[in-house]
Structure 1
């Protein structure tokens, strides 16, 4: 059990960017509450800030997949979970989580979770071991949909994730995930790029099924994240009232305006789609071709969407195979480049805006009283120059009030 006895709870005279704007030299105080810690005071000071250092909120990746091979032993992306026991998988998930934490990502949202991620999140939240905050969404997939076909077709059906067909079965699976400890639900309104067998253009679930899933999730206080690559998938996700859209790769200008009007956050997952399209990572010819088709005009469309003020937030789709759990900072820099953003807008996408996207606007991604004591100290001023948001410039990572990487400046 982690112990807070004699740990520091104050940092004086540090330059602070609070998740939205620059505060200047600040005295920061926090206090421990059981296995957690919250910021208690944020006070401007005349004390000169520590030279060259900036404190920012811990980053939030709204779209990851923790369970995958975290070792250096080569493995197949699709079959590894099928040949690795859950007891061992949780250790790989923890390794991935701690890799992200070491580069300042203090919160992760897993968008295809089951009891492995639920258990991992509970263990970390109870202070058994250091790790980022984990929010875990159970997926409701149809038979033959994105998720169900994420394994080779010859695999014993009993080893596949549960699926649901028909509105009543969909409601039942939402309730099952809620009972197991899910903090949200994921659906698919289009096919995927990495699924073994389906295509991005395939419809996933009927509107009646999607409406049932979202209604039931909302009734149980859970947000719904919708995987959607295609225009039709994006449109369905908007109309059905999904709380976030993942990828949105083939977004058009009219869809961008609809998304902006709805205020729906989008996780664009740029690096992984680029990696698949260019075959920078091992993928099949079909997967690379499908990705290349989708990303062909993506950057230009996304730039238009950013101009329309679509609320893009950090979501990498990191899985340890196609995108690593130390690549979040590179994703933020890529977002700034593609969207034509200021450094401050890019940093907001990984802090305050990402926190709001997962329903934790007041508790995460900010340096304000009452928010979690999760923060990162870096060399430079990343809200002015996004290139300063780099793993090589990280000095200290604090999670739940405890230093988990580096040390506090003296």
Structure 2
């Protein structure tokens, strides 16, 4: 059963609604009262005189991270990134995933999309949706990887094959795995159209799946109402993903001005995952020499290419690839500030990347076609009828991106409940 909403309103607090500042408003929320949407929703947003009580404070929508990996050791251990899931039972993994989710929640993140989900994340998502645990809402994409592909190569070679995650080789097997993920509760599918950086023995330049297999995965996913997110580092991987009709690009590290027009024409959002690739390339996290060398090669021209793509109008959105090891949960505001630096954005465009644009990327924007299993109120906005996911902060982050810092968070409201800090009432 869903929790009751926290009493409101906030009378006379400055609001930024996901697109623009509204000035002082009376911000109130209430349960939706419908079976179609379990969310508490904003019920009042009328203009009122500013209140001295809220001087220096403002409200923005809760942040949305479109690319995370919840399952990993949340206890701060600095080793065992690849082996921890193999020696930790799923019943324990889900608790670590919940701990990671709550770290993100305290950092102002009210929605997460896990892009390598299985029964652990599907179970956690159901518990969150039922109001059994307090965490960001969770969208969980099942991975369809090939034998020896990006997802499969994460597993050390000596591991019993029976402990590996499922893979799919051939058109029929690819369709079957999409169907299995949908049956298990996936809200989307992830594929790889290039190799990766952290896979054990993988290379970014490697092809993953054939064109026929990728077409089958995308077709089957869309037939079941599931969005498809494509991991693609290389130029060729980006082209393959676009030709297949995917719904988002993840990393897209070699995206530059020449490909920007194709990405824009396809209307595909891009999660650039800057911090994790920076950290791997400069060695500030524990990686192998091969992983560091591959990352350095990829990021050498990345920033200039991304800046050109952003200037052309590519829809970059917040996606950190946070896994608790290479990027911590709660670093989403750091990622947004870094995006602003690389892309030369205004503070408002930085905020849009983590709110209204991110919501559209996951099918929960104001004009999105909502995917299977992800129904509910509009996210990433503060508007009457939108989900009551809010962050009360010191400062005006739409004027100064430096104010977009977890140290400035006063309260986080998710589904109408205060889940971190306290409302200034």
TM-score w.r.t. length of structure 2: 0.94
Q: Determine the C-alpha separation between the residues in 1 that align with 2:380 and 2:215.
A: 31
> Deviations along 1:278-312, whole A, 9 cap, x unmatched?
11000000000000000001001100001101000
What SS is found at the alignment partner of 2:152?
coil
Where does the alignment leave 5 or more consecutive residues of structure 1 unmatched?
none
Whether the 8 Å contact between 1:108 and 1:133 is mirrored in structure 2 is: yes
In 2: Cα distance, 1:214 partner to 1:4 partner: 39
Residue in 2 that maps onto 1:16 = 15
Count the aligned residue pairs: 409
How far, CA to CA, are the matches of 2:254 and 2:132 in structure 1? 42
Tell me which residue corresponds to 2:203: 199
Q: Is the 8 A contact 1:39 1:371 kept in 2?
A: yes
Match of 2:92 in 1: 88
Aligned pairs for 1:240-259 within 5 A: 240-259=244-263
Give the Cα separation in 1 of the matches to 2:364 and 2:7: 26
How far apart are 1:187 and its partner, in Å?
0.2
Look up the SS of the partner of 1:409 in the other structure.
Answer: coil
Aligned residue number for residue 24 of structure 2:
25
Q: Is the 8 A contact 2:11 2:51 kept in 1?
A: no
- 8 Å Cα contact 1:69/1:75 also seen in 2: no
What are the residue-to-residue correspondences of 1:214-229 with 2, within 5 Å?
214-229=218-233
Measured against aligned partners, the alpha-carbon deviations of 1:219-246 in whole angstroms (never above 9, x if no partner) come to 0000000000000000111111110000
Distance 1:385 1:30 in 2: 27
Instruction: Give the match for residue 310 of structure 1.
Output: 314
> Does the 8 Å contact 1:265/1:310 carry over to 2?
yes
User: Residue by residue, what CA displacement relative to the aligned partner does 1:186-240 show, whole Å, maximum 9, x if unpaired?
Assistant: 0000000000111000000011000000000000000000000000000111111
> What displacement does 1:73 show?
3.7
> What is residue 39 of structure 1 aligned with on the other side?
42
Superposed CA deviations along residues 41-73 of structure 1, whole A, max 9, x for unmatched, are: 211113446210010000000000000000034
Unaligned residue ranges in structure 2 (runs of 5+)? 367-377
SS at match of 2:93: helix
Matched, 1:271 2:271: no
Q: Deviations over 1:119-155 (max 9, x none)?
A: 0011011111110010000000011000011110111
Residue 78 of structure 1: aligned partner: 82
Aligned twin of 1:322? 326
Q: What is the rounded CA distance, in whole Å, between the counterparts of 1:73 and 1:262 in structure 2?
A: 41
Are positions 1:365 and 2:380 aligned together?
yes
How far residue 33 of structure 1 moved from its aligned partner, in angstroms, is: 4.2
Q: Please give the alpha-carbon distance, in whole angstroms, between the structure 1 residues aligned to 2:260 and 2:199.
A: 26
Instruction: Write the deviation string for residues 29-50 of structure 1: whole angstroms up to 9, x where unpaired.
Output: 2112476311122111134462
Q: Is the 8 A contact 2:318 2:358 kept in 1?
A: yes
2 CA distance for matches of 1:392 and 1:66?
Answer: 23
**Which residue in 2 is equivalent to 1:4?**
4
Q: Say whether the 8 Å CA contact 1:2–1:129 is kept in structure 2.
A: no
Q: Partners of 1:253 and 1:216 in 2: how far apart?
A: 32
CA distance in 1, matches of 2:101, 2:76: 16
Query: After superposition, what is the alpha-carbon deviation per residue over 1:130-183, rounded to whole angstroms, capped at 9, x for unaligned?
Result: 100100000000110000111101111111110001111101000000000000
Q: Secondary structure at the match of 2:154?
A: coil
Report the equivalent of 1:51: 55
Match of 1:148 among 142, 149, 152: 152
